[in-house]
Amino acid sequence: MSNSLDRKRILLVHPLGYRKEAAGKDISRMANIMPPLGMATIAAYLERRGIAADIIDCYARPAEADRLIVEYLRSFRPGYIGFSCTTSSFLDGARLAGLAKSALPGIRTVFGGVHVSARREQALADYPMVDFVVMGEGEQTLTELIEADSSEPAGIEGVIYRDNAGTVINNGYRQARLELDELPFPAYEKLAGYPAAYMLPIFNYPKAPNTSCISSRGCPYACSYCDRSVFRRSFRYNSAGYLYEHLQYLKDRFHIRHINFYDDQFTFNRQRVEEFCRKMIDHPLRMTFNCAVRAEHIDYELLRLMRRAGCWMISLGIETGDEDLLAQHRQNANLAMLAEKIRLIKKAGIRTKGLLMMGLPGESEKSIQKSMDYVFSLPIDDFNLAKFTPFPGSPIYEKIHELGEFEEDWEKMDCMSFQFVPKGMTRERLEELFIRFYKTHYMRPKVLLGYAAMLWKSPDSWRRFAWNFFDFVKFARSNKRLGDDDE
């Protein structure tokens, strides 16, 4: 066999965000495993340009990922290996890049995703196993990088690299953006075990098989805690026609029955959503869907239409029930308007999920109590309470050390632990209040009845819940991810 590498081939790797040895027992994985959609879109785009691309998703297959990667490198000898990393998965990506370089000398490593898009030059300066960083959207940049096949890709927008003298060069962000309707559908078939290997959060869907899907990029708002280093402040979207065809494809090829739109702002362009809903009503696919919205971009008429088109659940960012605190972190902080919109969603016959955060800079016992009072006064079916985490690309990151105590341990920065403690609070107290928030929610009779109704509204959720019952109870009692027991 020739020793040369196949320079028109790349292995794309989605590294794990949590300790590999504990991941099999990790509660967040049991509850929710999302397909790496960005990576699957890049793979489809590269293949269309004649570059072979395969994917190994360590998140879906934690126990065997290292072995699979090394076997692939030795069998196919790709010229490139690409990693898409969040902050919590970056160090695992760096470790795997080192592993790839020892298993296959000469391979070039490329890093993309939110963490390196925020860290930029620093990611290369601090990590010698990183050969290239792709800032922002990856499709065109990665294609041009592989086609040029140069160690010094001067002039390729979106790339950061080291020149032969070792100086880090940043070619700057790519100016022209892709037209999203020109993208192929993600290469779902390259995700081993898709769709069964992936799952939406329990009680967040009526039917299986189901999947997530992205139909827009970017968000024009500027919340203090939100990292928009990849898609930045533009908002681009697939047309209603493309979207309908995408769903039809998922149904025909993978028998998908429910979609979770993972867009930041599904309803930002009202006309597109109306058109999409009318297609779903006039030519039914017998599929349901969830989406996330900002309260400013929904009204009763649109909600009714969405319901008729199959909308099952809407998630809505609340963040905190303390209006003064909210005003410090996002535009248009109006809790009365939010409450009104939540009531409209319910009135339209759609389930509602509130997205909240605990531990924002400025948080206090009083603001947490206000959040509980606010949330429990609303007809919310479900909520997710994240532990605030200051990510490197978020506006608040710059001055975070002035606002409290921040332990910047990247591997733990996945919103499942309090890495930041706001002034006036302690980590222990935050943990206690976090548990109290959830317990109070689950002990309300109305909420318990709602979950009981899921027996017929989402039987598959109950099957999963029963299967993992003891692990969920253990987590609820201790608030520890199961892997933490081993520490």
Tell whether residue 406 is a contact of ligand SF4 (CB under 6 A).
no
Q: How many binding residues for ligand SF4 (CB under 6 A)? A: 9
End-to-end CA distance of the chain, in Å? 45
CB of 362: closest distance to ligand SF4 in angstroms?
A: 17
Report the distance separating Cα 121 and Cα 130, nearest Å.
11
Rounded CA separation 108/141 (Å): 15
- Smaller CB separation from ligand SF4, 208 or 375: 375
What are the DSSP calls for 11-79, one per residue? EEEE--SS-HHHHTT-HHHHH-B---HHHHHHHHHHHHTT-EEEEEETTTSGGGHHHHHHHHHHHH-EE
264 is an interface residue for ligand SF4 by CB under 6 A: yes
**Cβ neighbours, 10 Å, residue 428:** 10
- Single out the residue of 187, 223, 291, 302 in contact with ligand SF4 (rule: CB under 6 A): 223
Q: Are 116 and 135 a contacting pair, CB within 8 Å? A: yes
* Residue with Cβ nearer ligand SF4 (221 or 376): 221
Q: Which is nearer to ligand SF4, 222 or 473 (CB)?
A: 222
DSSP 8-state secondary structure symbol assigned to residue 450: H
Question: How many residues are recorded in the chain?
Answer: 487
Shortest CB 22 distance to ligand SF4, Å: 29
Q: Report, in Å, the least distance between residue 228 CB and ligand SF4.
A: 6
| Residue 101 to residues 25, 74, 206, 410, Cα–Cα distance (Å) | 30, 11, 44, 23
Q: Which of 93, 317, 321, 392 binds ligand SF4 (CB under 6 A)?
A: 317
Of the pair 17, 317, the CB lying nearest ligand SF4 is at 317
Whether 360 contacts 325, CB under 8 Å: yes
205: alpha, beta or left? (left if phi > 0; alpha if psi -120 to 50): beta
The stretch near ligand SF4 (CB under 6 A) out of 155-163, 216-224, 356-364, 442-450 is: 216-224
Compare residues 59 and 391 and give the one whose CB is closer to ligand SF4. Answer: 391
d(CA 280, CA 284): 5
Choices 180-188, 214-222, 367-375, 418-426 (CB under 6 A): range interacting with ligand SF4: 214-222
- Considering the complex, what minimum distance in angstroms separates the CB of residue 273 from ligand SF4? 17
If you search the block for the tokens 């997710």, which residue do you land on? 384
Least distance CB 330 / ligand SF4 (angstroms) = 6
Here the tokens at position 473 are 């109870």
Min dist CB 318 to ligand SF4, Å, is 11
Q: Using the rule CB under 6 A, give the single segment among 201-209, 220-228, 300-308, 413-421 that binds ligand SF4.
A: 220-228
**Cβ atoms of residues 45 and 73 within 8 Å:** no
What is the footprint of ligand SF4 within residues 90-149 (CB under 6 A)?
none
Q: Tell whether omega for the bond before 184 is within 30 degrees of 0, i.e. cis.
A: no
Question: Phi/psi zone of residue 380: left (φ > 0), alpha (ψ -120 to 50 degrees), beta?
Answer: beta
Span of 65-73, 93-101, 221-229, 451-459 interacting with ligand SF4 by CB under 6 A: 221-229
Please give the structure tokens belonging to residue 109: 């490593």
- Told to check if 221 binds ligand SF4 by CB under 6 A, we report yes
Contact flag: residue 294 with ligand SF4 (CB under 6 A): yes
Paired tokens of 229: 């280093």
Least Å from the CB of residue 274 to ligand SF4: 21
Closest CB 61 distance from ligand SF4, rounded Å: 29
65 counts as binding ligand SF4 under rule CB under 6 A: no
Q: How far is the CB of 480 from ligand SF4 (least distance, A)?
A: 27
| Footprint on this chain of ligand SF4 (rule: CB under 6 A) | 219, 221-223, 226, 264, 294, 317, 330
